[in-house]
Structure 1
Amino acid sequence: MSGDSLRFPPLREGGAEPVWDGEGFVIDGARSGCLRYPVGESGWRDELTNLHKELSDGRHFIDIASRRLAVDALRRHCSGADRTILEIGVSEGHLLKDLQAANPGWRLVGADYTFDTLTRISGLRAPIPLVQFDLAKCPLPDAFADGVVALNVLEHIERDDLAVAQCFRILKPGGVAVIEVPAGPELYDDYDRELMHFRRYRLKPLAASFAAAGFDVLERTHIGFLLYPAFYAYKRASRLRTKSNAPKAAPPESAHVVQAIGLSSRLGAFGRELMATEDFLRRFAYLPFGIRCHLVCRKPLRSG
């Protein structure tokens, strides 16, 4: 889709504004597939990206459920064509593909902290603008997007309050933010440390932090409600195992990640049925706990 109404700031002081022409960015006469704004060292390793790709490949039933919830929220709250939807934390691009299929009229933009992640995206129906930046210091202009979606992003940001404030700033009045984060601070373990999570969340304080930033909270729920008892038991056992093992005897941290993702992936069709059951329950009741927190917020038409 054309990006005629999108404005991107210059990559350097005094430089020309990058122009998206539908196929790529034109910057000072040169073409580029991605804009790279300054970011610090993330510490993220290719090993972790490859691990996610190998074990889930976008087909894990919880990932599918979270993307479905995000797309449904945007359909309901950002309906119509010619809306700009910004995904922050594009990973392998699975949500971008779902968004392209859901509404070809949406003007999509993908962003991530790591440049290598952006270069690996493939299989999109049409090229979209891809931008590297640090959400806590987002370079995009005010009122840039009608919708912002960030699935499993905030837990990777030390100052997540700054990231929430930036989401508010770059949304147009009436714009919607769809947020997902891991639930249960008491379950933080080696899995979270290996994946560079600063924290896990409780939904009520998460919603309060968005309200404090100026958002109206529209929806809140949990994903993985029916799986939570087994998840809780596994995570608690992981914490106990970490405490009881001597450092030299403990398995590599990545082994915990492999085991956790591998075990849940093997639920297959049963896991998908559980997620379908949750979708049904969610129509009638608030799901008070789960593996992930899901939040939908709106920037008021008049703020400040």
Structure 2
Amino acid sequence: MKVQNKNRQWTLNIFMMFVASVFILPFVLLIISSLTDEVAVVQYGYSFFPKEFSLDAYSYLWDQRGQILHAYGITILVTVVGTVLGLTMTAMLAYPLSRKDMPLRNVLGFLVFFTIIFNGGLVPTYLVYTNLLDLKNTIWAQIIPYLLMNGFNVLLMRTFFTTTIPDSIIESARIDGAGEIRIFRSLVLPLSLPILATIGLLMATMYWNNWFNQMLFITDPGLYTIQNLLNRIMTDIQFLQNSDLASDASAAADLPSTTVRMAIAVIGILPILITYPFFTKYFRKGIAVGAVKG
């Protein structure tokens, strides 16, 4: 029996290693490709064992390090502010929805669920943020559209509150004289670290990778985030390659257009890859507990 269990465990370990490699190897190939010579990539394609290593792609981006560092600063600001505010608003809405004694609880829960299925549409959203709120070319145009929360995150946190925090603990706090704000701040939030870390990571990733709102509302280069700036760099390279001007054509011939795409992707995802392992424990627990039931 022990031999069978051991063999089964080895089989599961090998299978999970294979699954993990399926997800990890593309990132490894991405990094190696960004360090490969442009000519080698064009001639031999992408490979884990390139013919010739080169730092030309990163050298090209290094020449624009001033813009990239500024864009990183804007991205970090937007991500931190948006995540903190969004997480606060999500928790403050999800907690009342988790209380069975809250009036109109089901109606408000339905309205939150309704936003998952339907939205206002692109044109009305653009008109509201540009004409009514006048957010175009402001830092808030990159924060507020996603700050108005996500129905899935609200329902996920509400489920966590309902299934994880016993009513008896809250009743005990009320007997001791604690108000709702004190209970929420001193009791509920400390017990909800897994779901807060989970939703916080989801929000941070969303803000970090967001470029669509910037495409709609941002035309000032001083407000470009890293995603928007890297996308603009790729557009400039493509423009030079398709240009009919002799000077532009000769300059484009020396650009590492293929490998620079890989380097841009590495720069864009590297901070997320570095921070994600620190939240894995909370992310796994938060998703597992928060999705027990709706």
Q: Report TM bin, short chain.
A: under 0.3
Structure number with bigger Rg: 2
Choose between structure 1 and 2 for higher RCO, CA contacts under 8 A separated by at least 6 residues. 2
Q: TM-score, length-normalised on structure 2?
A: 0.24
**Structure with the higher helix share, 1 or 2:** 2
* TM-score computed with the length of structure 1 as normaliser: 0.24
